[in-house]
Amino acid sequence: MLINNKNYKTIWVNNSGKIKIIDQNLLPFKFKEVELKNLRDTIVAISTMQVRGAPLIGVTAAYGMHLAIKESPLKKNIIHAGKKLIASRPTAINLKWAVDKIINKVLKFPSDKRKSISLEVAKKLSEDDEVINEKIGKQGSKLILDIFKKKKKAVNILTHCNAGWLATVDWGTATSPIYKARDLDIPIHVWVDETRPRNQGSFLTSWELMQEKIDNTIITDNAGGYLMKQGLVDIVITGSDRTTFTGDVCNKIGTYLKALAAYENNVPFYVALPSSTIDWNNSSGDQILIEERNENEIHFIKGLNSKNKIESIRVTPSAAKAFNVAFDVTPRKYISGLITEYGIVKANKKEIMSIKKKIK
Ligand code: MRU
């Protein structure tokens, strides 16, 4: 997708073989490319959220495994690196999925082959992510088209956090149907939840939609219910960090409240996700480990000061306590459907298991 009219991916291998990412902690204020040189850099990039979003975390971890194997191709080191990467952010299952893909593949080969094999697998996962997200977009755009055919006016879509292209290698999950609907000339307007405390909505989603010239408006996290009641939201589309095979969806904190408001107001609530986000071992959202992040993410907020420098300022009383829970679980009953690369399915075990049969 576009940044200043130039096409970018969120992670890439440059002509000199360096693994590059965009430092998302600096967006939308500053654009900076960063090199991942080793396993340590990768763990820092994931845990400090220079890269974030379930699919992108997965692909980054795959490259991190390659960097670890470059340091030492021995089985003991590979397993240890995998454990460290998986622990760097516990909720998004794509992380474990990608690490397991690399481990399962490289251990079939002798040590001297593991470096090149791991790079091949990481590149393949990255390319697949783009293809899969584009498919999600094509599937999801049908929902937007149906609304447009009935309404004959701009379709209002509400999204939470950033499940945009910045959260994947390209296209995004929740935003991919938006980009594809735009390509079908459907007029669109997006309500972007600010998504405190890290503001992925106002910092990232709004910025990426503007780069693509998609009309959008930032709203506070508490505004969605009011807008739905006023009939100003036609559909909600979010992403997912982990979806149980029974259909419960874990996503950025606040997603659950949006789903409740959508249910109450008869607004369709869809979740866009690649099949790599499905947890095939988990039958209930209650079993998902929810990441708790540093409370300073609530106490401090980043912005541009009058000298155009990025500055962090405290926005809470100095002795105040804060509880920074990063994700919540939306029970399946509030979800109208899951938009996957294999089609749109209901959030229930039968339909989700039908996807499993299609995965190669
Ligand atoms: O904490 P983040 O920014 O990694 O959270 C991101 C989300 O919750 C996304 O909605 C989710 O990862 C899906 S991304 C396509």
pLDDT (tens digit, 0 to 9) for every residue of the chain, 360 residues total? 999 999 999 999 999 999 999 999 999 999 999 999 999 999 999 999 999 999 999 999 999 999 999 999 999 999 999 999 999 999 999 999 999 999 999 999 999 999 999 999 999 999 999 999 999 999 999 999 999 999 999 999 999 999 999 999 999 999 999 999 999 999 999 999 999 999 999 999 999 999 999 999 999 999 999 999 999 999 999 999 999 999 999 999 999 999 999 999 999 999 999 999 999 999 999 999 999 999 999 999 999 999 999 999 999 999 999 999 999 999 999 999 999 999 999 999 999 999 999 997
Measured in Å, residue 164 CA sits from the centre of ligand 1 at: 9
What's the rounded Cα separation, in Å, for the pair 45 and 23?
A: 8
Give residues with Cβ within 8 angstroms of 77, minimum separation 6. Answer: 68, 69, 71
Give bridge partners of residue 314 from the DSSP assignment: 300
Protein residue with its CA nearest to atom 6 in ligand 1: 53
pLDDT of residue 171: 98
Q: How many CB atoms lie within 10 A of CB 360?
A: 2
**Adjacent-strand bridge partners of 33:** 22
200 lines ligand 1 (CB under 6 A): yes
Find out whether the beta carbon of 92 lies less than 6 Å from any atom of ligand 1. yes
Of the candidates 228, 259, 244, 250, the one whose C-alpha atom is nearest the C-alpha of residue 335 is 259
Q: Is 52 in the pocket of ligand 1 (CB under 6 A)?
A: yes
Report CA 66 to chain centroid distance, whole Å.
22
Instruction: State which ligand 1 atom lies nearest to the alpha carbon of 327.
Output: 8
Whether 187 contacts 163, CB under 8 Å: no
pTM above 0.95, yes or no: yes
Q: Does ligand 1 have an atom closer than 6 angstroms to the CB of 252?
A: yes
Whether 170 is catalytic: no
In ligand 1, the atom with minimum distance to the C-alpha of 272 is 15
Spatial separation of the C-alpha atoms in residues 70 and 74, rounded to whole Å: 10
Whether 95 lines ligand 1, by a CB cut-off of 6 Å, is no
Ligand 1 in reach of 55 Cβ (< 6 A): yes
pLDDT of residue 322: 98
Residue among 251, 273, 293, 328 whose CB has most ligand 1 atoms within 8 A, to mutate: 251
- C-alpha to C-alpha distance for 35 and 23, rounded to whole angstroms: 10
Which of the following is catalytic: 170, 241, 279, 328? Answer: 241
Counting ligand 1 atoms within 8 A of each CB, the residue from 24, 88, 252 with the most, and so the one to mutate, is 252
| Ligand 1 nearest-atom number relative to CA 52 | 4
Q: Does residue 181 line the site of ligand 1, with CB under 6 A?
A: no
Q: Could you tell me the two tokens for 31?
A: 């654009």
pLDDT score of 195? 98
In angstroms, what is the span from residue 74 Cα to ligand 1's centroid?
Answer: 33
What backbone phi and psi angles, to 5 degrees, belong to 192?
A: -105, 110
C-alpha of residue 60 to centroid of ligand 1, in Å: 14
Residue 360 has a pLDDT of 75
Ligand 1 contacts CB of residue 157 (under 6 A): no
Residue 37's Cβ-side half-sphere holds a number of Cα atoms within 13 Å equal to 0
Angle at 241 between CA 94 and CA 18, to 5 degrees: 45
Which whole-number Å values give the CA distances from 310 to 199, 208, 304, in the listed order? 15, 19, 5
Looking at residue 256, its amino acid is Y
> What's the CA-to-centroid distance between 239 and ligand 1, angstroms?
7
Q: What are phi and psi of 225, to 5 degrees?
A: -60, -45
HEC letters along 38-102: CHHHHHHHHHCCCCCCHHHHHHHHHHHHHHHHHHCCCHHHHHHHHHHHHHHCCCCCHHHHHHHHH
